[in-house]
Amino acid sequence: MDKVTDIEEAIGNHARWMSLLRNAILQAPPTVDVSEVQAEDQCEFGKWLHGSRLSGEDRASAIYEEVNRLHADFHKLAAQVVELAASGKPRDAYDLLYGEYITMSGRLAIAMRAWQDKLKGTP
């Protein structure tokens, strides 16, 4: 597959995290492992982002740096949602999920779309 398609798949996969996190809040205690959620290099996109398919030139680009940073922040917030749910604070978990997390998720998706546009040569 090409990089544009890889990024498209990642956008879809990360959109599904919302459902995963909602379910984690509803379960008492959550069945999701916080360390797995926080490991930004273990999801499929993280493996791709840190794997061998991207060149040194790709990794040196400003858009890669931004996506990498936002992706790590996305996973930190997701882990915080699970931690709050696990500590018996579902209201706080929902507030984070539907506040800062949604904002971060949107910022990551926008940055990933910008990367796609750059790869396609779209202005």
pLDDT of residue 109: 93
pLDDT of residue 1: 54
pLDDT digits (tens, 9 = 90+) for 35-84: 999 999 998 889 989 988 888 898 999 999 999 999 999 999 999 999 99
User: Does residue 123 carry a pLDDT above 70?
Assistant: no
pLDDT digits (tens, 9 = 90+) for 2-36: 888 988 888 888 888 888 899 989 987 778 889 99
Cα 64 from Cα 111, distance rounded (Å):
9
Cα 98 from Cα 103, distance rounded (Å):
8
